[in-house]
A and B are shown apart, each in its own frame.
Chain A
């Protein structure tokens, strides 16, 4: 924690994520307009800038872009958090079992991971959602599946390294059960690197979700999502460039936050880098 406060990138990342969570929670209060309210006479209204009626302009239906971005943060965050949580859960369990058990089970689990990694991840996510049908739940599932191998690999490598350590031997000598040794002692010590991967995974999950909704495979209208806003913006790219600019900036801002946090955590976890910039 002490190091966390000293790492500039981790702090900046936390700050960005904090702002995002604040926005997602209080979107209704922060939004200057009703994000669903149409104002056809003011469609494709150019951004008025700070203090204006439509700070970031309006879309094809005259809906306020800023309000839609604020409310859209919810679905992005929801999908990314759920997908990362699910991939974390499955990845850690699979990786821990593979690393601790070794042998056939290890080989089997890791070959399945290789199979997932044999596809470009975004293509696999697209193919999964295309199979199951577009929608929030299926998008979450697809994003989670393609993120599991990274979690599994890092957990497995940590467990492989730690299971030969003396404290594990000691636990075994004391007659602790395998499950207790694995989950109480080994995994607790693998916490830091797993957290790093989880944080970086969050960033990728946000991007993947945005890509899926951009292609019309994620959240369906009337749910507001950043990817969907970009898809609408694409249709008006010649007349209303603000429709593609700002929702994308929101994505960059969010992903940047998680990447900074992940980088910062990694540097903190690596004593060789501690003290360096």
Chain B
């Protein structure tokens, strides 16, 4: 296991270097001079050149890349052109919101998806089974941002305690207040704000999990040890939950990991719909404003987190399934 861990960690290095090069090039190959856009049409050539020197845009690309990379490794992602604040500060302020949204979506997806899939698998061929499968197929086919819009116009507008946009408190902060001061108000506020965006983001994952739980359960339920357990005269619920579900959840766990990463991507658009103050919305706004350093920092940050999440998933999976380790 230790050797596998080391190998995987070493593989990360070239991958992350590649990611940094792509992010750097993406932004620097973009047409349109950010400095000229910032200063406007009236700016003199001298002004433009002076500001280009301030941001280091006058140096050759490789030089710019290495300067950017060495600074990024120290946590310095440069200054936002539009907001005149360090990019790292802007991202750090919003990272919590994005992670909270992603985690909460995954939570909703699992809390709903696993029981639904389980229920359908134990009633195979019933109307309920068909209904679940149809609903989950539709769920997989729905763009999360559209579901977000529908939730806004058909739920938030009509339910007074559900706010439409933004984020007023963090769940982590709310939990902290609840545990230290025994006051639930902050947590409830945070939950009210996160409910719709997290549902919009989590539904497609829920559908995938429900389908997977069902098919995985159906496979396990046909195994010999299940028949043995039934023959022993165990209660149906004990067979289903203790014997079948435990084994059926293995593939589900893998998919949860893979999906968590895609939640981060989906969050980019969901955040825009719900005006959720996360990194995704920051990046989208930065793109429309052609704020290069901010786009660069944001995309890099998301890609690094995405890669790390995938690494953790792989390691967890190798931990559970020894065959992977020796490949």
Interface mask (A73-100 → B, CB under 8 Å = 1, otherwise 0): 0000000000000000000000000000
A145 and B137 CA atoms in complex are apart in Å by 26
- Judged by a CB distance under 8 angstroms, whether A177 is at the interface is no
Give the residues in chain B near A237, CB-CB below 8 Å: 149, 152-153, 157
> B154–A215 contact, CB under 8 A?
no
> B149–A122 contact, CB under 8 A?
no
Given contacts A211-B143, A244-B150, A256-B138, contact A121 B265 (CB under 8 A): yes
9-residue interface stretch from B15-23, B70-78, B172-180: B15-23
- Judged by a CB distance under 8 angstroms, whether A167 is at the interface is no
Given contacts A126-B287, A252-B141, contact A133 B273 (CB under 8 A): no
- Judged by a CB distance under 8 angstroms, whether B166 is at the interface is no
> B302–A120 contact, CB under 8 A?
yes
Give the residues in chain B near A211, CB-CB below 8 Å: 143, 145, 269
- Judged by a CB distance under 8 angstroms, whether B282 is at the interface is no
Interface mask (B1-21 → A, CB under 8 Å = 1, otherwise 0): 000000000000011101100
> B125–A230 contact, CB under 8 A?
no
- Judged by a CB distance under 8 angstroms, whether A20 is at the interface is no
Q: Which of A92-130 contact B (CB under 8 A)?
A: 111, 114-115, 118-123, 126-128, 130
Chain B interface extent, by class? 35 or more
A255 CB contact (under 8 Å) in B141, B266, B303: B141
> A115–B268 contact, CB under 8 A?
no
- Judged by a CB distance under 8 angstroms, whether B272 is at the interface is yes
B18 to chain A, nearest CB (A): 4
- Judged by a CB distance under 8 angstroms, whether A54 is at the interface is no
9-residue interface stretch from B26-34, B44-52, B110-118, B240-248: B26-34
Nearest 6 pairs between A and B by C-beta?
A: A120-B265, A241-B153, A248-B146, A255-B141, A256-B141, A244-B149
Interface residues of B (CB under 8 A from A): 14-16, 18-19, 22-23, 26-27, 29-31, 125, 137-138, 140-143, 145-147, 149-150, 152-154, 157, 261-262, 264-266, 268-269, 272-273, 280, 283-284, 287-288, 295, 299, 302-303, 306-307
* Known A210-B146, A230-B145; 11 more pairs at CB < 8 Å: A120-B262, A121-B265, A130-B295, A132-B31, A215-B272, A215-B284, A234-B149, A244-B146, A244-B149, A248-B149, A252-B146
